[in-house]
Amino acid sequence: MLNYLGKRHAFLSYTSFHERRSLIRKPEIPKMMLSETPGALKNFRRTPWKFQQTFQTPLKNLQRFVATIVSPSHNFTAGCLTIEQVVFEPKHLISLLTDYSISPRYGHDLSLTAVGQEEVEALLQAALSDWVDFIFIPQPKPFVIYADHDEYTTFYAHTCSNLNRVAEALSGQGFKTISGYERQL
C-alpha cells in the first residue's frame, strides 16, 4: 500500500507484506518442557562414539564448569537432558521444574528440554548438582555428555576437533581430566 503525503513525506506510509505479517502474534515456545522419551538412552548407547574425554565434576566450582561447557562460542540454542537413574531426590531439578511451572516428575527415560542459552545452562547445572545419571544433548550437537552421580562427566564426539574444543576449554580453566578412563556404555 502506498499513500502519497506530499513532497516532504512522499510514500511515508508504505506497509510491506512482511511488516504486516510481523504484527501477527506468534505462539511462544516454552523455555522448558518435560516429556517421556522411551528408547532415548538405548539409542544413545548404540551410537558408536569415536572420541571421549572424562572430567571430574567439580561440585564446589560447578557454575564455572557449566559456564565453560555452555560458553557462547558453542552457541547452543537448546539442550535435552534424559534421565537414566535418580539415586536421591533431585532437589535442584525439582526446584528448576517448579520455577517453570512444570509438575516435578523424574525417572528413567524422562527428558527435560531447555530452549535458550540461559535455560540450557540452568538445566545442566541443576542436574549436575543432584545425584542423577543422565545424558545431555545440546543443539547444535558438537558433543554429547553422559554424567553420573559418582561425579564424572564424560564428553562424547564423532570428531576429535569437536571433543578438543570443549576438553581444551575445560582443561584451560583448570578442571581435572580423568586420564586413561574409558566409559563403557
Q: Is the pTM of the predicted complex or chain greater than 0.85?
A: no
Q: What share of the chain is helix, strand, coil (3-state, %, to 5)?
A: 30, 25, 45
Q: What average pLDDT does range 137-142 have in this prediction?
A: 94
Give the tens place of pLDDT for each residue, 109-123: 999 999 999 999 999
- Which residues on neighbouring strands pair with residue 114, listed in sequence order? 32, 79
pLDDT band at 9 (very low <50, low <70, confident <90, very high): very low
Total count of domains within the chain: 1
- Which residues on neighbouring strands pair with residue 113, listed in sequence order? 33, 80
Main-chain phi, psi angles of 103, to 5 degrees: -65, 130
Flag whether 161 is in a domain. Answer: yes
Q: Residue 105: count other Cβ atoms within 10 Å of its Cβ.
A: 13
Taking the mean position of all CA atoms in its chain, how far away is CA 158? 18
Cis geometry, peptide bond prior to residue 48 (ω within 30 degrees of 0): no
pLDDT at 161: 95
State the DSSP H helix or E strand holding residue 69, giving kind and residue range, or none if neither. Answer: helix 62-69
pLDDT at 18: 53
Flag whether 19 is in a domain. Answer: no
Comparing C-alpha atoms, which of 131, 161, 160, 163 is closest to residue 144? 163
